[in-house]
Amino acid sequence: MNAADTIMIFLILTNLSLLASSRFNACIKIVALQGVIVGLLPLIAANGPLTIYSYLLALLIVTVKGILFPYLLKHTLRSVNVRREIEPFIGYGASIIIGVLALIVSFWLTTHIPFHDKILSTTAPAVAFFTIFCGLFIIVSRVQALTQVMGYIVFENGIYIFGSALLIEQSFLVELGIILDVFVVVFIMGITMFHISRAFDHIDTDRLREK
């Protein structure tokens, strides 16, 4: 087992533990950890000499996902007056079972996709799919807007893993653009949520239609 596979296992574990956590504080920590791992991935995956841009990018992503996002999320958490996910559509036990099923489906999917041989690790595409599914599943199954933002970040992490797993020649500029987009989304969501909680007294997306 090489370093890449170990990291993949770590990523799977972060996803599963995210599915099982209900407290926002814990969730934020897990998402931050996942962000840091994902940010370091290209450094391990690089096949060739690392350029200054790779370092810069890794530094940037680690900073944004590991420090800035947790900060913003915690800041929002303080202002919205909710501590945990109260009644998710799908309970935590069921969530983990669905997560495991999603993991199986992801591995099954990737066996059917032809990849070229220069691939970071055979498990990487499957983990990428799994992360994407987890992100989407969190968005669908959780009620609080804050969890949904985290689902979105996880979803984006999945896409990033896919990119680095396939060793796609990433243009520095494109990556910068994407990270800027995600940053803006999280930032705006924080502000919006603050206003939603002021207007509705909660950030429960299922009850937003009630007046």
Partner 1 sequence: MKLLIAGFFILLMSSFVPLFSGRRSRVAAVSVAVGTFCCLLLSAGVCIESLFTGNTFDIAYRMSLPFATFALGVDPLSAFFLLPLLLLSTLCAVYGVSYMEKKNSEASSVTIWFFFGILVLGMSLVVVARNGMFFLIAWEIMTLSSFFLVTHDNHKKSVRKAGWIYLVASHIGAAFIFAIFAILGRHSDTLDFAAFQTIMTGAAISTALFIFALLGFGSKAGFIPLHIWLPEAHPAAPSHVSSLMSGIMIKVGVYGFLRTLTFLGDPPLWWGVTLIVIGASSGILGVLFALAQHDIKRLLAYSSVENVGIIALGIGMGLVGISCGEPVVAVLGFAGGLLHVVNHCIFKGLLFLGAGAVIHETGTGEIDHLGGLMKKMPRTGICFMTGSAAICGLPPFNGFVSEFLIFLSALFGVTTGIIPLSSCSIAVIISLALIGGLATACFSKAFGIIFLGEPRSGCAERARDPDAAMTVPMIILAVLCLIIGLSGASAAMLTVTTVSEISGLSMTACAAGLKTAAYPLTAIAMLSSLLIILGGFLFAARRAMPGARVETKGPTWDCGYAKPEPRMQYTSSSFAQPLTQLFSFFLRTKTKLPDTSAAFPAANSFSTETPDFWQEYIFRPAVIFFNRLSAIVAKTETGRIHIYILYIILTLLILLTWNFFR
Contact footprint for partner 1 (CB under 8 A): 89, 105, 109, 112-113, 133, 136-137, 139-141, 205-206, 209
Nearer to partner 1, 36 or 136 (CB): 136
**Contact predicate 119/166, CB 8 Å:** yes
Closest contact distance (angstroms) between CB of 3 and partner 1 is 29
Contact at 8 Å (CB) between 165 and 126? Answer: no
Q: Kindly tell me which of 50 and 140 has the beta carbon lying closer to partner 1.
A: 140
Under DSSP, the state recorded for 62 is: I
- Closest CB 151 distance from partner 1, rounded Å: 9
Spatial separation of the C-alpha atoms in residues 20 and 33, rounded to whole Å: 16
What is residue 205's DSSP assignment?
G
Residue 31 and residue 151: Cα distance in Å, rounded? 9
Give Cα separations from 155 to 57, 135, 148, 158 (angstroms): 19, 4, 10, 5
- State the nearest-atom distance from the C-beta of 167 to partner 1, in Å: 21
Residue (35 or 151) nearer to partner 1, CB: 151
**Shortest spacing between CB 89 and partner 1, in angstroms:** 7
Tokens of 179: 């990270």
Cα–Cα distance for residue pair 123/83, rounded to 1 Å: 35
Nearest residue (CB) to partner 1, 63 versus 122: 122
Min. distance of Cβ 192 from partner 1 in angstroms? 13
Q: Give just the sign of the alpha carbon dihedral 203, 205, 18, 164.
A: negative
Nearer to partner 1, 37 or 153 (CB): 153
